[in-house]
Amino acid sequence: MNEVISQLISLQKIDLHLDTIDNEIKQKQDALDQQSAMLTQRESDIDDLHEQINTLEKERRTLDLEMSEDLAHVKSRQSKMMQVQTGREQTALLKEIEDGKRSIKEKEEKIVAIMEEVESLTAQITRQQELLQEEAKSLTAETAKTKETIETIAKTKQGQSSKRQKHASEVEGKLLNKYNILRERRKGLAVVNVLGGVCQGCFMSIPPQQYNILLRGDRHLDCPVCQRIIYYQAPENQE
């Protein structure tokens, strides 16, 4: 195999390793972000529950106020009963008193329903806060663990990066440029083997004439389909 090809293969091997490292770091970070987002969501759920309780309590205060007005009205009608003379006036007052009492009863029922709802919402808040505490604790632990893991991975990355620099400096400038561009455009794979006349990057057949050139093992070409740098290496020697 020619020197240039083996340089490129070594370089790509390091680059693929670096990609794996970056992916690993990203995955760890993403998992943490997801956990953190869950926490934020729960906090916002708790805020919503508080907001619901506030609305209900406001409603209750209004009902309380209206109820005491009803009560005062009923009382004033009751005392007026002593003064009225005619049966007609009495009937009218009695109706007002009955209406007032019914209105009070309705409001009382509403207030009881509101109190029950507030109680249920408060229980939900307690449960959510317990969960939030557990999750916050777990997130803190996970953050520390992830930080440590990422630091370890980053050290490996540093080693690989300097190795990469050394290998890259051995590749001729123009070819290195081409390699870098290909890696960017071809999902990290710039240099590929051709097996049985098929490019292992795009899995398309290459013309037999070009394949014959590659089979000699001393040259590299560009895949006519995906433009990757192609070479030939017998399968048993493959790493």
Interface residues with Zn ion (CB under 5 A) are 199, 201-202, 223, 225-226
**Minimal distance, residue 211 CB to Zn ion, in Å:** 12
Please give the helix or strand (H or E) that residue 82 lies within, else none: none
**Minimal distance, residue 239 CB to Zn ion, in Å:** 20
Return the number of the residue (39 or 226) whose C-beta is nearest Zn ion: 226
* 3 state SS of 191: strand
**Minimal distance, residue 9 CB to Zn ion, in Å:** 16
Tokens 């109706």 locate to: 95
Return the number of the residue (157 or 220) whose C-beta is nearest Zn ion: 220
Q: Which residues, in sequence order, are bridge partners of residue 231?
A: 193
Which DSSP state fits 193?
E
Q: Could you tell me if 171 and 7 are in contact, meaning their C-beta atoms sit under 8 angstroms apart? A: yes
CB atoms within 10 A of CB 158: 11
Q: Rounded to an integer, what distance in angstroms lies between the CA atom of residue 173 and that of residue 198?
A: 28
**Minimal distance, residue 231 CB to Zn ion, in Å:** 12
Q: Closest Cα partner for 127 from 45, 52, 215, 32?
A: 45
Return the number of the residue (156 or 210) whose C-beta is nearest Zn ion: 210
**Minimal distance, residue 235 CB to Zn ion, in Å:** 17
Return the number of the residue (104 or 202) whose C-beta is nearest Zn ion: 202
Return the number of the residue (1 or 225) whose C-beta is nearest Zn ion: 225
